[in-house]
Amino acid sequence: PLSSSFPALGTASHRHPAVDNVAVTEMFNITVTPVNDHPPLIRSRAPSMKVVVGERVVLGPDNLQVEDHDTPPEELHYLVISKPNNGYLTLGERPEIVTSFTQYDVNHGRLHFTQQVKQTNLNSY
């Protein structure tokens, strides 16, 4: 945080006729905390992976990592805007498909991708 101070001059009126206006100087300390000053940074080292048919894999920070110096991982939210073509995402051991998760989930190995073969591809000749 950045700190600064500045003097402020104020006047006060009193009912005593000898002291009508009194000048008072006060010192105020101001602390400026930067918030959302920097854009998020993509730090993924391996943004893609090969998955065996039917396999369930963990998507970790090597695959998906964004850093924001102003935001902790539990507050960095991802929203899936287009479902994967051949699989789905889950969190932890829960079987429910998810469409949102956090960087905290990714960092702690909670995000999984399960590859799923589409039925329409099984009987193609």
Q: Is the pTM of this model over 0.85?
A: no
SS3 109: coil
Whether residue 25 is found in the same domain as residue 54: no
* 45/88 same-domain check: yes
43-65: pLDDT as tens digits? 998 888 888 999 999 999 999 99
Q: How many angstroms separate the CA atoms of 43 and 1, rounded?
A: 25
Q: Is there a contact between 102 and 78 (Cβ–Cβ < 8 Å)?
A: yes
Statement to judge: residues 112 and 54 lie in one domain: yes
User: CA 81, CA 59: separation in Å to the nearest integer?
Assistant: 17
pLDDT in tens, 69-92: 888 999 999 999 988 889 999 999
Domain of 18? 2-32
Other beta carbons within 10 angstroms of residue 116's beta carbon come to: 15
- Give the residue, 72 or 117, on which the prediction is more confident: 72
